[in-house]
Amino acid sequence: MGSADVFHNGQSVWTPHKKIMSSIATFILMLGVWVLLSGKFDPFHLSLGIISCAIVAFLSSDLLFPSRTTKGLFVRLWRWMVYLPWLMVEIVKANLHVTYLVFHPRMMDLIDPRIIKFRSKKLKSDIALVTFANSITLTPGTITVDVSLDGDFKVHAIDKVSGDPLPGEMEARIAKTFGEV
């Protein structure tokens, strides 16, 4: 804990400084994603993006950065910025695979739906488990059916190729992103 931490009953509590730092980091991340995805660069749309990202960042910064300390906040933000492009590449690769399945003349022979069950050995925090579940669902060909607080996952995969990498590299990258390695 840093020297600026405030304690109440042995617990570190949110100070205005911590809330501001967490909000700034959330704002930067959200605005970056918004600019990348919106494609609108005129003053009107940029100002709307800035205003909406600021409001949401202020109201929900503790969801993205739940730690009660701001120590390493920008390191965690940087890890997110490294994880997101990797996830985008994986989504594109999975899209190409699903497109291949759909347009293949023997599509019905190639599609082999299955439920994969596994336990996450690396992820412990709720936000890391939810991020993993959402990352799986965002990747075409896989859908997270269930996830428990103990890290037990049930994932529907459209075929063997889509389900084989789980948990694998995605789990490891999320663990690194949230500092759970």
For the segment 94-133, what is each residue's pLDDT rounded down to a tens digit?
999 999 999 999 989 999 999 999 999 999 888 899 999 9
Question: Domain check: are 65 and 97 in the same one?
Answer: no
DSSP helix, strand, coil percent of the chain (3-state; round to 5): 60, 15, 30
How many Cα atoms sit within 13 Å of 57 on the Cβ side? 22
Question: Domain check: are 55 and 96 in the same one?
Answer: no
Question: Domain check: are 62 and 109 in the same one?
Answer: no
- Residue in the block written with tokens 């063997």: 160
Q: Which of 56, 70, 67, 66 is closest to 20 using CA atoms?
A: 70
Task: Output the CA–CA distances (angstroms, integers) from residue 62 to 4, 73, 180, in the order listed.
Answer: 18, 12, 18
Among 26, 49, 71, which residue terminates a domain?
Answer: 71
pLDDT at 7 over 70: no
- Determine, yes or no, domain membership for 67: yes
Share of the chain above pLDDT 70, in %: 85
Question: Domain check: are 93 and 167 in the same one?
Answer: yes
- Determine, yes or no, domain membership for 21: yes
- Determine, yes or no, domain membership for 1: no
Listed as own residue / partner, the contacts of 142-147 with beta carbons closer than 8 Å and 24 or more positions apart are 142/94, 142/166, 145/115
- Determine, yes or no, domain membership for 119: yes
Average pLDDT, the chain: 85
Question: Domain check: are 105 and 153 in the same one?
Answer: yes
Question: Domain check: are 84 and 64 in the same one?
Answer: no
Question: Domain check: are 99 and 156 in the same one?
Answer: yes
Question: Domain check: are 14 and 51 in the same one?
Answer: yes
3-state DSSP assignment of residue 153? strand
- Determine, yes or no, domain membership for 10: yes
* N- to C-terminal Cα separation, the chain: 20
Q: Count CB-CB contacts under 10 A for residue 152.
A: 13
pLDDT confidence tier of residue 6, bands split at 50, 70 and 90: very low
Peptide bond into 16 cis (omega under 30): no
More confidently predicted of 4 and 38: 38
Residue 77 pLDDT: 79
Range of the domain at 111: 80-177
Question: Domain check: are 57 and 119 in the same one?
Answer: no
pLDDT at 74 over 80: no
Peptide bond into 140 cis (omega under 30): no
Residue 1 pLDDT: 41
31-62 confidence digits (pLDDT tens): 988 998 888 889 999 999 999 999 988 888 77
Q: Count CB-CB contacts under 10 A for residue 29.
A: 21
Whether the pTM exceeds 0.85: the reply is no
Question: Domain check: are 113 and 171 in the same one?
Answer: yes
3-state DSSP assignment of residue 27? helix
Beta pairing partners, 50: none
Number of domains in the chain: 2
